[in-house]
Amino acid sequence: MGVYEVMEEAVRLLLIEKGILTDAEIAAQIDLIDSRSPALGAKVVARAWTDAAFKQRLLADCRAALMEMQIDIGQIAEFKVVENTPETHNVIVCTLCSCYPKLLLGIPPAWYKNLAYRSRTVVDPRGVLAEFGVKVPKSQEVRVHDSTADLRYIVLPMRPKGTEKLDEPALAALVSRDAMIGTAIPTYA
């Protein structure tokens, strides 16, 4: 058993011993996080692409808009949606650790937690994005958003051209986890 597993077990047992949480409550939270995946966030993006009023509510109050879709993101942190536009490309990073909207996107990718990604994205966002295959035109501003324990972000990517006749499930299939972080752009052939 590694150091982190020993620490996790010690903290879990202490929380149970002190009556702060039960074993069942801890198991339920683990099951909830394990049940979440980027497909959930993709459904939200597709809804925003097809429903302008929902999109405005999502941008104004993410938590309330998600509750309309019966998506509970808990109360641990605030959530903010940042919209990519022809003028602005957004990318998310957590410079201190790896704060990530797990209850909307599932488990973060390993590279998101990597020190190189966390430090370089702030200093050279265009260079990092280029390494992901995202070429941001010089005319488009790149905004880096630093997630924290108190505030998590999700990117609302631009809807690809030519998708006007697609329904929400087909649109959701175009949205990757990386697009909701800002390190990919949804495409449609």
> Which residue in the list 35, 37, 97, 119 is annotated as catalytic?
97
94 included as an active-site residue: yes
Whose CA is closest to 125, among 144, 138, 112, 109?
144
Please name the residue that has the structure tokens 């973060």: 108
98 included as an active-site residue: yes
Beta-carbon contacts of residue 130 (< 8 Å; ≥ 6 apart): none
Find how far residue 85's CA is from the centre of its chain: 18
Q: For strands 78-83 and 151-156, give the pairing.
A: parallel
Identify whether the C-beta of residue 150 lies closer than 8 Å to the C-beta of residue 77. Answer: yes
> Which residue in the list 62, 98, 119, 147 is annotated as catalytic?
98
Phi, psi of 107 (to 5 degrees): -70, 135
97 included as an active-site residue: yes
> Which residue in the list 35, 37, 62, 99 is annotated as catalytic?
99
35 included as an active-site residue: no
> Which residue in the list 62, 94, 139, 176 is annotated as catalytic?
94
Identify whether the C-beta of residue 129 lies closer than 8 Å to the C-beta of residue 155. Answer: no
Catalytic site residues?
94, 97-99
